[in-house]
Amino acid sequence: MINQMLLDLLASITLTASRRPIERVQIFEKIFEYEGIKRTFVRSLASKEPVHLLLVGPPGQAKTMFLKCVLEIFGGGEKHSLL
């Protein structure tokens, strides 16, 4: 189910030159530190080519927070019950 939610989200994201530029501060303002991961996310979201990211690590490393921030910006404002 989460795979389908992510596929739907990715299908709905269309980043064009006419949209305002994606800024790390706007998307990840709730997450402190992790600057390298923030840059990677911003670059992948702004990319014209498909980019796959896999976040792995122990609990408490903000993996879910990154996904929640992206869903808040690009997910249409709807609540996602799995997160």
What pLDDT does 64 receive?
A: 92
Provide the 8-state DSSP code for 33: S
For residue 13, is it within any domain? yes
- Give the other-Cβ count within 10 Å of 51's Cβ: 13
Tally of domains in the chain: 1
For residue 26, is it within any domain? yes
**Residues with Cβ < 8 Å from 73, sequence gap 6 or more?**
26, 27
For residue 48, is it within any domain? yes
pTM of the model: 0.61
SS3 letters across 36-83: HHHHHHHHHHHCCCCCCCCCCCCCCCCHHHHHHHHHHHHCCCCCCCCC
For residue 22, is it within any domain? yes
- What are the CA-CA distances from residue 42 to residues 48, 68, 82 (Å)? 12, 14, 23
For residue 35, is it within any domain? yes
For residue 79, is it within any domain? no
pLDDT in single tens digits along all 83 residues of the chain: 556 665 666 566 554 433 455 555 578 888 888 899 998 998 898 888 989 999 999 999 999 999 998 888 877 555 555 55
What pLDDT does 28 receive?
A: 86
Q: Residue 65: give the domain boundaries.
A: 6-74
